[in-house]
Amino acid sequence: MPTTQHAARALFRTLGRVAPPAALALGAATYWRVGAPAPVRPADQAVHASARRTPLEHRPTFRGAGGPITVASYSWGDPGAPGVLLVHGWRSRASAFGRIIEDLTGAGLRVVAYDAPGHGASGGRRRTGLDDLAIIRRLSDAEHAPWAAVVGHSLGVLGAGIALHEGVEAERFAAVSGLTSVRVTTDGFVRQAGLPWALRDAFARAVQRHGLPGHPDVYERFDLVRRTVPAAVPTLWLHDDGDRVNPHQLSVRLHEAHADSSELFTTTGLGHNKILGDPAVRARILDHLAAPAPADRATARRPAAR
pLDDT digits over 59-77, tens only? 999 988 889 999 999 999 9
Q: What is the C-alpha to C-alpha distance for residues 304 and 113, in angstroms, rounded to an integer? A: 26
**What per-residue confidence (pLDDT) applies to 63?**
84
- All structural domains of the chain with their residue ranges: 1-31+183-221, 41-181+229-294
In 3D space, the residue among 108, 211, 98, 189 whose CA is nearest the CA of residue 151 turns out to be 98
At the fourth CATH level, which superfamily is domain 41-181+229-294?
Alpha/Beta hydrolase fold, catalytic domain (3.40.50.1820)
**What per-residue confidence (pLDDT) applies to 5?**
77
Instruction: Please name the amino acid found at residue 256.
Output: E
**What per-residue confidence (pLDDT) applies to 301?**
31
Q: What is the DSSP string of 242-257?
A: T-SSS-THHHHHHHHH
Residues of the chain with pLDDT under 70: 1-4, 293-306
Cβ count near 77 (within 10 Å): 20
